[in-house]
Amino acid sequence: MKKLLLVLALLPMLALAQTVTRDGITLTQAQETRAENIGDQLRCLVCQNESIEGSSAPLAKQLRVIIRQHVIAGDNDKDIVGFMVQRYGIFVLLKPPFMRLTYLLYASPFLGLAFGFLFYWLGRRISASPPAPLTPDDRARLDELLK
């Protein structure tokens, strides 16, 4: 009987050991892993080259809290990412999808190479013409200056 009471008394402690608290939100380990995976897909709007999970900016903290609240509410990953895109735009995604809005983003390296080769080719074709030969007056003046 004493062992049973001891086990029942320790059960809440075991449940607390399985939870994680981050940014003031307590989640189970599975929920926290899910929230981190979602946060790794989203860009910090302040740092712009970091995920919100890796950023220490105050806005990134707010975005992490929003994600964790949605995870607790039971929303699926796609809905959470969709909510963030709807709220902050496609720029919030670290890897934006290939769509009409992002064609220029994905094509810019190739366009840069094409324009570079074009300018190089045009520069080689339009070479500077050689200078005109010196007139006799210019030659005399040059000889005078070199003495």
Question: Tell me: the pLDDT tens digits for 123-147?
Answer: 877 776 777 888 999 889 988 988 8
Name which residue leads in pLDDT, 102 or 46.
Answer: 46
Distance separating alpha carbons of residues 21 and 8, to the nearest angstrom: 24
Is the pLDDT assigned to residue 15 strictly greater than 70? no
Distance separating alpha carbons of residues 1 and 14, to the nearest angstrom: 20
Name which residue leads in pLDDT, 24 or 92.
Answer: 92
Q: At residue 54, what is the residue type?
A: G
State residue 40's pLDDT score. 92
C-alpha distances (whole Å) from 34 to each of 20, 61, 76, 79 are 12, 16, 10, 13
Question: Tell me: the pLDDT tens digits for 61-73?
Answer: 999 999 999 999 9
Distance separating alpha carbons of residues 75 and 144, to the nearest angstrom: 90
Is the pLDDT assigned to residue 20 strictly greater than 70? yes
Question: Tell me: the pLDDT tens digits for 75-119?
Answer: 999 999 999 999 998 889 988 888 787 788 788 899 999 999 999
In this structure, what token pair is assigned to residue 39? Answer: 């946060």
State residue 105's pLDDT score. 77
Is the pLDDT assigned to residue 11 strictly greater than 70? no
C-alpha distances (whole Å) from 143 to each of 89, 132, 139 are 71, 18, 6
Q: Which of 37, 38, 15, 40 is nearest to 28 (CA)?
A: 15
Q: Mean pLDDT score of the chain, rounded to an integer?
A: 84
Average pLDDT over residues 56-61: 90
Q: Which of 125, 52, 56, 121 is nearest to 88 (CA)?
A: 52
Domains of the chain: 20-108 (1.10.8.640)
Name which residue leads in pLDDT, 23 or 14.
Answer: 23
